[in-house]
Amino acid sequence: MQLPVLNEAKTADRFLTSLPAGGRSPTGPLAKMPLPMTAAEARARGWDEIDIVFVTGDAYIDHPSFAMAILGRVLEAAGFRVGIVSQPNWHSCADWQRFGRPRLCFAISAGNMDSMINHYTANKKVRNDDAYSPGGKIGLRPDRATLSYCQRAREAYKGVPVIAGGVEASLRRLAHYDYWSDKVRRSILLDSKADLVVFGMGENAIVEMAQRLAAGQSVKDLRDMRGMAYALGASETPPEDALKLPSYDQVVNDKMHFADATRIIHSETNPYNARRLIQWHGTQAVVVNPPQLPISETAMDRIYGLPYTRRPHPSYTEPIPAYEMIKDSVTIMRGCFGGCTFCSITAHQGRAIQSRSQESILNEITTLAQSKTFKGTVSDIGGPTAHMYQMKCTRPEVEAVCRRQSCVHPKICKLLGVDHQPVIDLMRASRKVPGVKKVLVASGVRMDLARQSPEYIRELTEHHVGGHLKVAPEHVDPDVLFKMRKPSNDDFEYFAEVFENHSKKVSKKQYLIPYFIASHPGSDLDAMINLAVFLKRNGYKPDQVQDFIPAPLDVATTMYYTGIDPFTKKPVHIAKGLRDRKLQRALMQFFKPENYFEVREALRQAGRTDLIGNDCDALIPAQPPQEAMMRRREDANARFRGEYVHKIGDKTGGKVGGKKESRQRTTKGYRPGRKGAKD
C-alpha cells in the first residue's frame, strides 16, 4: 500500500480550504449553541441521527483552546452532525449509547492531557485536582482513559469504527516507556483495539475521514492517510516501503534497542521527508504513516473563525479551572521548532509554525472585547511559544530534506527566519482594539530567539506584562541544558537584564518568574547545587518546583529509562530514586525551613559543606531553624500514625447535590501492588 502522491505546497489542508468561507455552520439561534451533549439537544437541532460521537475525558468547553471544540466545529462546518460525550461513566456503556448508533464512527480522546499525567504527580501521588473537570474534581475519568473509552465504544455498538486521537493516543502509538508502571508498554492500538489512531493535530484528518466514511469507504480504506497509525491483522501483508523499527520484544529486552527506536521515530517527524514506520509486536505489526502536512494560514483562519460560544456547556454549574485560565486568551499560532527533549509539543503539533493572519486574530479580539463578561484584559496572545509567530525556514528546498531535531539548538540555524516584526506589529495592533485595556503575553518566551530582537523584548516589557512575566530557563548547568536542548544561561541573564532595564525606564515594578526543573536526566546533586547558588545570588525564590515527569515518547523519557542519550549514545546520569528526587526538589527551595534537613543531606553528599554556615554565601545556616525541627517532628508523628499514605478524600460522604455519587467512591486511583491492580 503506497501513500498517495501529494502536492505538499497546495494540498496540505485541501479538506479544510474546500469548505465554504463561513463553513456550513448553523445560523440564527443554533449558531449560539454548543454542540449537543444529550439526545434531547440533538433533537432540538432537528437531528434524528448523529454522524460522529466524540468521547472525551475533559469537560466540554466550546472554546478554540480545546481540541474537542475545534474538531467538533470543523466537522459541523463540513456538514456533519456531531455529539459530545464528556467525562462519561466508564463503568458501563450507557453513556456511549445516549445518541443511538453513530452513523460513521466513535472518535475517542483522553482529553487535552495524557490521563496518567493528569492524575499523578512526579512522585506518583494522586493529584488533588483536575483542571479540566467542573469544580476541579478528580476521579471523573479513568486511568489510561483511551483504553476504557475504546472498550466501551466496542461494547455499545458492534461494528462501528473506533478511532482514537488526542495527546494520549498520539504519544503512545508505538511501544513506549510508561513511568507509572515502570515498564515498556505495547502500542496503544493493540491495548485499546482501536481501528485507527490519528496522531498530531487532527482537523484535516477528521474531515477527510468523515467524508470518506460517508462516501462508503471502510475504515481500512483510511489507512493511506497521513497522520494515521494502524495495526495489521496477523494475515495481512505489511507495506514494503516501511522503515523497520526495533521490535517490541527487542525494546523490552535491550535498552540500546529502545534508544535506537526513539532516535528513528524522532528523525522521521518532518512531514516533508518522513518515512512510514513499522514495529512488530510478536506476530502483529503496527504501522505509522508520515505526519500530516502543516496547514495554511487560510485554513487556520477558518478553523479559528468558526462560531464558538467560548464558554463551557451550559449544563455545568461549577467553574472549570482550565477554562477560567484561558477564557480571555487568543491563539495566534501552533507548532514549535525548539525541540526540547522533555516537551511533547513538537512531537504533537510539529516543528513547522502555522500562523493565523493578523486580521483573523484581531477579529477574535474584537469579538472577545464585545462580550459582556470581558473585563478589558486579553490574558494571552500566543501559542506554544509566544514569539515564533510567522517564523519559518527561508529555504523550503532545504526544509524538505532537513532532519534536525531543533531549529535553534545547539545554535540558531542560519536558514531560520527570525524576523520579529510580524509579532511586534500584531502586538501593537491588538492594543488598539476598542474595548481592550491591556493585552498580556503569558505564553513561553524562547530567550535565545528573543535576543535576536531587542525591539521585541522592549515591546513585550513596556506593554504586555502584567507585573510578572513567567519564563522557563529550566536550569543553569550547561550539560543539563544541552540535554534539554535549551539555550545557555547567558541568554536568560541577558534577557533578565534587558527586562529589568526596560521596566525601570517606564517606571514599572515588574518581575520575572523563572521556572526550573528538578531531576531532569543529566541533573545530579552538583548541578542542582549550582542552580541553588544561582538562585540565591540573583534573589529568586521559586514558589513552585517542577519535577521532571517522563512523558511517553519524549527523548528525555528515553534518557530516563535507558540512561542513554539516544542521539549520542553516551550515558546520562539519572535521579530515579524518590529520595534522590526529593533532595533535588529541596535544593531548588533551599530557603524554606521545612527543607533544611534535605538540603543539608544533599550538601553533605556532594561534599559542599562550605555552603552550610552563617555567612552570606551559605545556602542554609549551621543550626536548623525552629520551623525545621517542628516540621521533622510533625512528619515523624504522621508516619507513626500511618497518615503518610496519600488518599483521595471524599468530604461529601459520596453525595453530590444530595444524590449518591458512586463514581467518586469507586475511584481508587493508581496503586502499584494493590490487589487487583492493572498496569
Work out the pLDDT band at 529, boundaries 50, 70, 90: very high
Assess whether the previous peptide bond of 410 is cis (omega < 30° from 0).
yes
Q: Are strands 228-231 and 196-198 parallel, antiparallel or unpaired?
A: antiparallel
At residue 31, the pLDDT reads 60
Work out the pLDDT band at 11, boundaries 50, 70, 90: very low
CATH topology assigned to domain 34-288: Rossmann fold (3.40.50)
Q: Cell numbers 481501528 correspond to what residue? A: 195
At residue 628, the pLDDT reads 85
Work out the pLDDT band at 296, boundaries 50, 70, 90: very high
At residue 32, the pLDDT reads 73
| Mean pLDDT along residues 169-197 | 97
Residue ranges of domains in the chain:
34-288, 328-442, 465-624, 626-668
Topology alike, domains 328-442 and 465-624 = yes
pLDDT > 60? residue 174: yes
- Between 16 and 358, the higher pLDDT residue: 358
Distance, CA of 195 to CA of 230 (rounded, Å): 7
- Please, which contacts does 488-497 make with residues 24 or more away whose CB atoms are closer than 8 Å? 488/448, 489/534, 491/447, 491/448, 491/451, 492/447, 494/447, 494/451, 495/445, 495/447, 495/450, 495/451, 495/457, 495/471, 496/538
| Mean pLDDT along residues 217-240 | 95
pLDDT > 70? residue 98: yes
pLDDT tens across 120-163, in order? 999 899 999 999 999 999 999 999 999 999 999 999 999 999 99
At residue 182, the pLDDT reads 96
Q: Which amino acid is at 121?
A: T
- Between 227 and 657, the higher pLDDT residue: 227
pTM, 2 dp? 0.90
CA 350 to chain centre: 12
100: its cell numbers: 443511538
- Element housing 207 (H / E): helix 203-214
Instruction: Please state, rounded to an integer, the average pLDDT across all residues of the chain.
Output: 90
451: its cell numbers: 535576543
At residue 8, the pLDDT reads 41
Cβ neighbours of 156 (radius 10 Å): 22
Contact partners, residue 368, CB within 8 Å, separation at least 6: 310, 328, 330, 374, 378
| Mean pLDDT along residues 524-549 | 94
Cβ neighbours of 573 (radius 10 Å): 16
At residue 632, the pLDDT reads 81
pLDDT > 80? residue 9: no
pLDDT tens across 313-331, in order? 999 999 999 999 999 999 9
| Mean pLDDT along residues 43-71 | 96
Work out the pLDDT band at 633, boundaries 50, 70, 90: confident
Distance, CA of 172 to CA of 315 (rounded, Å): 32
At residue 279, the pLDDT reads 98
| Mean pLDDT along residues 249-267 | 98
CATH topology assigned to domain 328-442: Transcription Regulator spoIIAA (3.30.750)
Q: Is 103 exposed, middle or buried (0-12, 13-18, 19+ CB in 10 A)?
A: middle
For the domain spanning 465-624, the CATH number is: 3.30.750.200
At residue 28, the pLDDT reads 57
Contact partners, residue 218, CB within 8 Å, separation at least 6: none
φ and ψ of 212, to 5 deg: -75, -40
